[in-house]
């Protein structure tokens, strides 16, 4: 050690690597976790458990039976310990479905033990310990391991398996054995296992990636929708604010000889309104986005429920039969509620246009003392099957709008194959 520590450069690095080797080996071949068992139906393992388990059971049974004659001299009765060895070996491999590392260690240990116990009885000239069944057993253990650990660890295990076979064989009486055949078969098993694992990892990553993208897209849609809603609501507020500023200026003209106090007060109201407008401009500057321009919504005032008939007329001309009814006393509602109710009807109807062409739609607006309800239902589409994905956008917007006002939104299919959206917007919280 003192000699090594005196070295520099490459020598030092090699020494460090050598010192780290035991730890690396321990981690790779014992302590480091293996990949978790992929869940049923997960990518890369569509039939992982049931079918694979049956196949493995069959394989180890056949291998076990095939293995028995290797361990018993010709013509002799099968001793109990041989049966025990074979059964243990089979069970070890079966546990390899869940704990491939331990299974591999167990198989290796059982191989060494069986060589120790049975070698005395063997006739020289047999392939030993690398008989056909033994190679297959070790190959299966390595294959199971390679399916679940990094290729480097599987490679290390392969080398260790071969060394163990070599040492087990060489410490018994001199038998003929074929290290090359064993090396080739075991190497192939590891390569196939590693390849399958790589495939599974790649697919899992792909799925994760697309899930992330999907999540990202959903999040962005939500933000855009909120942005749009916030923009509209601020817009309504700004509109009212500018009317306040005008009225505050007009008021002194409406009375003869307004007092100084009145003038002062009205000036104060106007100044506050103008300041609030300046802030709103700033907020709207932040909220503005490219699609606001495309929306073209600033060519027209923000809609209220009064313009429902106009909207329904447009939808009718697009080929949907719409009936509308209003219950309760129709009266002006807070601007935010009016706007949201209108937009919910608009989005629900445009969903009908998109997903249920040829359906009949019904719009019900109910004015209650503490809430306004909006219900849009449609019958089954005339041409089924054109309903496409991506319809969540409208529902998302409706949900956001309803939530913003402290209301409830329910939606879902109706028994007849149609669809229903019901929004309840409370009035009290805002008044």
Partner 1 sequence: MTIRVLIADDQMMVRQGFTVLLNAEPGIEVVGQAVDGVDALEKTAELDPDVVLMDIRMPRLGGIDATRRITGAPGATARVLVLTTFDLDEYVYEALRSGASGFLLKDASADELAQAVRVVAAGDALLAPHITKRLIAEFSRVSAGPRPPDRGRVGDLTERETEVLSLIAQGLSNAEIAAHLVVAEQTVKTHVSRILVKLGLRDRTQAAVYAYESGLVRPAGY
Binding site for partner 1 (CB under 8 A): 235, 238-239, 241-243, 245-247, 249-250, 253-254, 273-274, 277, 280-281, 284, 293, 298-301, 307
Beta bridge partners of 411: 421
Longest CA–CA separation in the chain, Å: 132
Shortest approach of partner 1 to residue 289 CB, angstroms? 13
How many CB atoms are located within 10 Å of the residue 58 CB? 10
Which CB sits closer to partner 1, 306 or 325? Answer: 306
Which CB sits closer to partner 1, 27 or 295? Answer: 295
Cβ(193)–Cβ(100) under 8 Å?
no
Helix (H) or strand (E) holding 424: strand 419-426
- Under DSSP, is residue 321 helix (H, G, I), strand (E, B) or coil? strand
In the structure encoding, which two tokens stand for residue 55, read together?
């196949």
Distance (Å, whole) CA 42 – CA 123: 49
Compute CA 370 distance to the chain's CA centroid, rounded to the nearest angstrom. 41
Closest by CA position to 325, among listed 343, 339, 345, 340 = 345
CA dihedral 394, 397, 399, 404 (to 10 degrees): -160
Distance (Å, whole) CA 147 – CA 195: 8
Shortest approach of partner 1 to residue 241 CB, angstroms? 8
Shortest approach of partner 1 to residue 222 CB, angstroms? 26
Residue 224 φ/ψ, nearest 5 degrees: -60, -40
Shortest approach of partner 1 to residue 246 CB, angstroms? 4
Which CB sits closer to partner 1, 68 or 280? Answer: 280
Shortest approach of partner 1 to residue 221 CB, angstroms? 25
Instruction: Give the C-alpha distances (Å, rounded to integers) separating 280 from 236, 274, 275, 356, 390.
Output: 11, 10, 9, 39, 33
Which CB sits closer to partner 1, 229 or 241? Answer: 241
Instruction: State yes or no: cis peptide before 129, omega within 30 of 0.
Output: yes
Shortest approach of partner 1 to residue 242 CB, angstroms? 4
Shortest approach of partner 1 to residue 262 CB, angstroms? 16
Which CB sits closer to partner 1, 172 or 272? Answer: 272
Residue spans of alpha helices (H) in 7-76: 9-26, 50-71
Which CB sits closer to partner 1, 36 or 296? Answer: 296
Which CB sits closer to partner 1, 242 or 387? Answer: 242
Which CB sits closer to partner 1, 247 or 364? Answer: 247
- Under DSSP, is residue 52 helix (H, G, I), strand (E, B) or coil? helix
Shortest approach of partner 1 to residue 407 CB, angstroms? 27
């Amino acid at each position: 050690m003192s000699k090594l520590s005196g070295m520099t450069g490459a020598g030092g690095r090699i020494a460090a690597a050598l010192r780290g080797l035991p730890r690396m080996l321990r981690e790779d071949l014992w302590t480091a976790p293996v990949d978790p068992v992929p869940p049923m139906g997960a990518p890369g393992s569509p039939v992982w458990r049931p079918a694979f388990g049956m196949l493995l059971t069959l394989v180890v049974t056949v291998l076990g039976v095939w293995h028995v004659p290797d361990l018993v001299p010709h013509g002799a009765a099968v001793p109990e310990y041989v049966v025990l060895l074979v059964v243990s070996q089979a069970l070890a491999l079966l546990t390899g479905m869940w704990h491939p590392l331990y299974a591999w260690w167990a198989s290796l240990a059982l191989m060494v033990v069986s060589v120790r116990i049975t070698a005395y009885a063997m006739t020289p000239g047999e392939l030993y310990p690398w008989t056909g069944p033994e190679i297959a057993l070790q190959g299966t253990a390595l294959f199971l391991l390679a399916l679940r650990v990094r290729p480097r660890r599987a490679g290390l295990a392969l080398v260790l398996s071969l060394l163990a076979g070599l040492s087990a064989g060489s410490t018994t009486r001199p038998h003929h054995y074929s290290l090359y055949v064993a090396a080739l078969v075991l190497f192939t098993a590891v390569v196939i296992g590693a390849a399958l694992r790589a495939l599974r990892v790649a697919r899992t990553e792909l799925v994760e990636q697309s899930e992330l993208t999907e999540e990202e897209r959903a999040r962005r849609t939500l933000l855009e929708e909120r942005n749009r809603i916030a923009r509209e609501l601020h817009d309504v507020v700004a509109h009212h604010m500018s009317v306040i500023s005008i009225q505050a200026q007009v008021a002194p003209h409406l009375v003869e000889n307004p007092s100084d106090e009145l003038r002062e007060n009205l000036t104060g109201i106007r100044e506050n309104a103008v300041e609030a407008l300046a802030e709103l401009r700033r907020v709207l500057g932040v909220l503005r986005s490219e699609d606001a321009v495309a929306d073209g919504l600033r060519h027209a005032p923000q809609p209220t429920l009064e313009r429902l008939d106009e909207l329904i007329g447009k939808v009718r001309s697009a080929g949907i039969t719409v009936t509308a009814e209003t219950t309760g006393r129709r009266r002006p509602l807070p601007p935010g509620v009016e706007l949201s109710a209108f937009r919910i009807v608009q989005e629900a109807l445009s969903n009908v246009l998109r997903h249920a062409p040829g359906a009949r739609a019904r719009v019900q607006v109910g004015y209650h003392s503490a809430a306004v309800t909006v219900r849009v239902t449609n019958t089954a589409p005339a041409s089924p099957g054109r309903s496409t994905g991506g319809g969540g956008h409208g529902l998302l917007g409706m949900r956001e709008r309803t939530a913003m006002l402290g209301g409830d939104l329910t939606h879902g299919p109706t028994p007849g194959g149609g669809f229903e959206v019901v929004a309840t917007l409370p009035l009290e919280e805002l008044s």
